[in-house]
Structure formats: C-alpha cells, structure tokens
Structure 1
Amino acid sequence: MREIIFDTETTGLDPRSGDRMVEIGCIEMINRVPTGAVFHAYFHPDRDMPAGAEAVHGLSIGFLSDKPRFHEKAAELLEFLGDAKLVAHNAGFDFAFLDAELAMCGLDPVCRSRMVDTVQLARVRHPGAKLSLDALCTRYGIDRSHRTRHGALLDAELLAQVYVELTGGRQIGLGLADEVEALVDSVVETVRNRVFRPARPHSASAAELAAHSAFLDTIKEPLWAT
C-alpha cells in the first residue's frame, strides 16, 4: 500500500483570493513505512509575500526569487504522487491549493477520493482533544524540538510519524497493514458522507419569556435597575 504524506506552505489562506503555493514537501510510505523517497520544491509565487505568512514559514520573496514556477515542476510532482492516497493535516486546505495550481496549468484536480485528512482521523481517535500537529506530536512523544517554523518537508516528516500512530502505531509492521487500511478507508468514507444536521432553534417561547419576566419582578432592588 503506497501513500504520500504531504504538506504545503502558501502566501495566505485562500487560493481564490490570489494566494499561491510556495513550497510542497512529500514523503513516500509503503505499508506505513517511509521508503526514503521524497519530493520537495519551492515555487516563485509571482506575487508579494504578506508579512504574516512570512512570519509563519520564513520564506521571503528574496529567497523565492530564483525558484521555479509551479508549472515547471508540475509534471515531476504528479509523477511522484502517482495514484497513491494523499495524506495531509487539514487536507482540504492543501488540496485546495494543489488543485488551484494544477488548474492554472490546465491540469485536472486531484480526485478527492484519494484524500486522507489526519485531522479527521485524530478527531475520531481522540474526540475533544487538541488536534494541531504540535498537539499530536506531544501526545505521541514525537520530537519536534527542531521545528522552529513551519516547513513543508519537515511538517510532512512529523505528520508521517503522527499518521503511523493514528493508524495503529508500530504494530503495523506485524502484518496489520490491510486491517488498518480498511479502518482508514472506513473513517474517510464516514466523514465524506456525513450528513450535518441543521442548528436547532434556541429562541425562548412566549411562555418562557413570561415566566422569566415574572421571576425578575420578584427581585427587590435589582442591580440592573440602578
């Protein structure tokens, strides 16, 4: 079972408003074991770098000025991705930027059936807990002391370790890969097909408002009346 763990860095939060991908880091795993094969690239975004984004990942326009445009590396990236499942943390964000860059190259988007979101996996595994990559590294005892800023390849390396823990830990190597793959597929399919209920009305009824008013009338010299 081949999977690609990946992460991106961008100029902002929304490709629809003109934000661009400036870095991608991908790690190949076979049966939840890293093979050592990686794809890593920086991209010139053909726009400015907002100060807020640079503070997160440290990538300045000066640093990116001699880097290739996305379209120059798109074929190489797609060849590396192949038809593997694509695992990312808050995957919808990374897929949105990847699809936007592919669209600007005249290429088809990546099929969402390949998407595995570790945030969703963590939400099922640890309901109510913090779900950030840092929080999950702490939960699983994964050393992130060298992570002073966000970086696509470094974050993908950390996420690969988190993903192994989320999907069964080191016992994957004991031949449980097929069972874990079925579990991941089940969780992903459940999340994808989830029907969200509309919010319930919380307005007070006329009787409740009247009862509340009557109760207030029994309070002598209330503070809100002074």
Structure 2
Amino acid sequence: MREIVFDTETTGVFPDHAEAEFRDRIVEIGCVEIVNLERTGREFHVYLNPERSVPEEVVRVHGLTRDFLLQHSKFAEVADLFLEFVGDSPLVAHNAAFDQGFINAELRRLGRTEAPSDRFIDTLQIARKKFPGASCSLDALARRYQLDRYGFDLAARKGAGGHGALIDARILAEVYLQLRGGREQRLVFEAEVPIESAESARPVQFMRREPRTAPLASRMNTEEMAAHEAFIATLGPNALWLKTGS
C-alpha cells in the first residue's frame, strides 16, 4: 500500500481569511513516499512564493523570508508536479486538518478538485489514542521513539528556523512507522521462510536422543563434594535436594 507522509510550512494559520490580503499561504511542501510501511527513498520538496508578506514571528519558526521565497515558484506553477507525486494515495500528516485546509485552499484558488477528508490520516489522533494523557507533539513523539538513533538532529529543531517541511515529513514518516508497528512488522516478515513444497510444509519432527550408557564423571574434587554435602545437611530433612538431587 502506497502512502504519502507530508508537511507544510505557511505564513500563518488562516488560509481562508475573509480579507484576501490576510489569507495565509503555503511557503514549503515536503513529501515522503511509503510503500507497505517502509520508506522508498522517493521524496517531493518545493519552496513556494506565497505572493504576500511573511510575518517575522513565522520566519523565526521556519526561517523562510519573503526575499528568499520570491526566488521560487508559485503554487500554481508546481501544482501539477505535486498532484502527480501524491497521486491518489492516502495523505499522512500530523494535525492533518491544518495541512488539509491549506492544500485545499490552494487547490480551490486554482479551480482544482479538493482532497476529501477521508483521504487524510492524522498521526496526532493516532498518537493520542496510543498515549492518552501524554504530549503528542511531533517533537515529543520523536523523543519518545528516540529518533536521534536514526540520525535525526532533534536538538536543531529547538532553535530559530529549526522547522522545515521536508525534515518534518521525514521525522513524521519514522514516527508513523513506529505508531503503526512498521519496524516490528518488517522484522517478522524478514524472519518468515516461504513454503515452496509439500516436503517443506511437513511439521517439524524431533528425534528422541537415547540416554547415555554411563553418567558423566563428576568434575567436583573431594573438597568441593565435602563442602556441598555439608551445605545440604544444613537444609533439614525436608530439603528438596534430598528428594531430587543426587
């Protein structure tokens, strides 16, 4: 099964603001392809010209300034590439309603078909069910699953500009695999041996080993045997060793 784990960075939180000049836009999209709960290595990443200003408080989060973004394409110019990459696969996001709102707002401006809600998988909801009462932010889940073991620089995300759509999508892909048990399932699949013939399908038969004709000689010396017998004597007449030992 093919799934697309993705993340967006934006100019704010209001993609459908009543006043056009205040409508927030996407400035970055990062996608990671997963097939059968395993990353394939295929990715899609673009920076986008939002055609509006970028608030300073938002720049402190993702580090993308208006001057930098003006050098890149508008969403309308890369929409076909994005839609071709995601195809009709389920879309996995953390707090998916946020990303869904922005993607659909961009598609709506172009008169394109919006992505329905049932196409989105929300890892935030999955995590809250799995860890009720615990913090389920992406950072918290990355720490819970110790993603620094897989080469992710979790400390860098705490600094200014530490968030990015592609790196967040990569982190989320690993979190999603952990939430779905992907790594454990893979170990099970790799351990399975295919049955190729009726001969190999027969149940395992264990051969009974004949008892030794003579017991093995004791490896204890005289002093050790005496010490052992003295210890047994301290256990009393009901000691189990007297019933089972020799």
Judge same fold: TM > 0.5, yes or no: yes
Residue 221 of structure 2 is matched in structure 1 by none
The residue type equivalent to 1:5 in the other structure is: V
Deviation at 1:60, TM superposition (A): 0.1
CA distance in 1, matches of 2:43, 2:116: 21
Q: Decide which structure has the larger Cα Rg and report it.
A: 2
Do residues 135 (structure 1) and 140 (structure 2) align? Answer: yes
State the alpha-carbon separation in 2 of the partners of residues 73 and 13 from structure 1.
22
Deviation (angstroms), 1:172? 2.2
Secondary structure at 1:7's aligned position in 2? strand
Choose from 126, 133, 143 the match for 2:131. Answer: 126
| Equivalent of residue 145 in structure 1, options 142, 155, 180 | 155
Shift of 1:52: 1.0
1:145 deviation in Å? Answer: 3.3
| CA deviation map 1:78-101 (0-9, x unaligned) | 010011110000000000000000
Q: CA RMSD in A?
A: 1.3
| 2:72 partner letter | K
Structure 2: where are the runs of 5+ without partners?
18-22, 149-153, 191-246
Pairs aligned (count):
176
Query: Which of structure 1's runs of 4+ aligned residues deviate more than 6 A?
Result: none
C-alpha distance after superposition, 1:135-164 (max 9, x if no partner)? 001111112234341100000000011001
C-alpha distance in 1 between matches for 2:66 and 2:31 = 22
Quote the Cα distance in structure 1 between the aligned partners of 2:73 and 2:169.
21
Between the aligned partners of 1:166 and 1:34, the Cα distance in structure 2 is: 14
**Counterpart residue type for residue 40 of structure 1:** H
- Which of 180, 183, 187 pairs up with 1:167? 180
Instruction: Give the structure with the higher percent helix.
Output: 1
Q: Does 1:107 align with 2:112?
A: yes
SS of equivalent residue, structure 1 residue 15: coil
Identity %: 50
1:110 to partner: Cα distance: 0.5
Distance 1:167 1:126 in 2: 13
- Residue 7 of structure 1 is matched in structure 2 by 7
In the superposition, the TM-score normalised over structure 2's length comes to 0.70
For structure 1, the residue ranges without an aligned partner over 5 or more in a row are 177-226
Name the CA distance, whole Å, in 1 between partners of 2:108 and 2:64: 24
AA matched with 2:93: A
C-alpha deviation, 1:168, in angstroms: 1.1
Match in the other structure for 2:59: 54
When structure 1 is superposed on structure 2, of 137-146 and 5-14 the one drifting more is: 137-146
Q: CA deviation at 1:169?
A: 4.2
Q: Distance in 1 between matches of 2:166 and 2:185?
A: 23
SS at match of 2:118: helix
**1:67 counterpart (67, 72, 76):** 72
CA contact (8 A) 2:47 2:69 kept: yes
AA aligned opposite 1:163: Y
Give yes or no for contact 2:37–2:182 (8 Å, CA) kept in 1: no
Mapped to 2, the partners of 1:146 and 1:3 lie a distance apart of 27
Deviations 1:55-113 (A, max 9, x none): 11000001001100001000110010011110000000000000000111110111211
